[in-house]
Amino acid sequence: MKKSIILACIVIVSLSACNTGRRGSNTQTTGTEVADPAHNSRNSLDWAGVYKGMLPCADCEGIQEEIRLNEDLTYEMVSIYLGKGDNRFSDNGRFEWDEAGSRIKLTSATLSNDTDRWFKVGENQLIALDIEGNPIESSLPPEIYIFRKIDMDNVITEKYWKLIELNGKGITFAPEGQIREAHFILKNEDNRVIGNTGCNNMSGSYSFSEEDNGIHFTPLVTTRMACIGIDYEQEYLQVFETSDNYTVRNDTLTLNKGETSLARFVAVYLQ
């Protein structure tokens, strides 16, 4: 309940803080636009990806947010309240485009509809709007409401890779039975690999080969906790024993054995 209340306040705090009731001359867009089916943000921009921004906060140093827009019209969001104790909250759901193809409305799968979030979609950026989808009226500079798209590259080290698919089966985090989500990080220092199976911490080392994105892992060492509801731990560890190459596209990494996909991971930027 506490988590839901705080998450519901994200809209109120971040979009209404410092509101002066005055619409500045530098507002970015109007709430009503004429649809252009031939050229709009939805069909002309590479909008899928991860966006980061920092919103104002009435009782903290700021709200750092990361929003991932997926091509299947789902989203994931992480909000961190800087300078507060219990400060990290996650949300997910679906989003829909307006008729003009220029704005999106995020609807949470866990919160009530009165917490819908609106954003204007631009070239490599999202612009936070108010709860009715209009520019935010504020004395703050309009740039503060801009979320920038994270530049994706093919570098896979020093990134947090969250497991999303294992041998063709989707993997989701189950808070009632899991301590951590299954993930791994390739550290540059000493070619170390660290991570978690969804139950136990794991560590080892890795090496790259120059041919066809080759990668190899040493046998991983794990802790020995018994966790309830995690039935894929050994299958997950087997991926690192057998994989010999990887593919990466935007923020999705796949570990393969030859041409066979073993596991897929997505990059997470706020930890």
pLDDT of 176 strictly over 80: no
pLDDT of 24 strictly over 50: no
pLDDT of 252 strictly over 70: yes
Confidence bin at 154 (pLDDT 50/70/90):
confident
Global pTM reads 0.57
Give the C-alpha separation, 141 to 128, whole Å: 13
Question: Which of these ranges, 115-124, 169-178, 227-236, has the smallest mean pLDDT?
Answer: 169-178
Q: Which of 62-66, 135-139, 146-150, 241-245 has the highest mean pLDDT?
A: 241-245
Nearest to 44 by CA among 31, 35, 57: 35
pLDDT of 36 strictly over 60: no
Question: How many Cβ atoms from other residues are within 10 Å of residue 65's Cβ?
Answer: 23
- Residue for token pair 């866990």: 110
Confidence bin at 10 (pLDDT 50/70/90):
very low
- Identity of residue 9: C
Q: What is the mean pLDDT of residues 153-163?
A: 87
Q: Which domains does the chain have, with CATH numbers?
A: 2-149 (2.40.128.640), 160-268 (2.40.128.270)
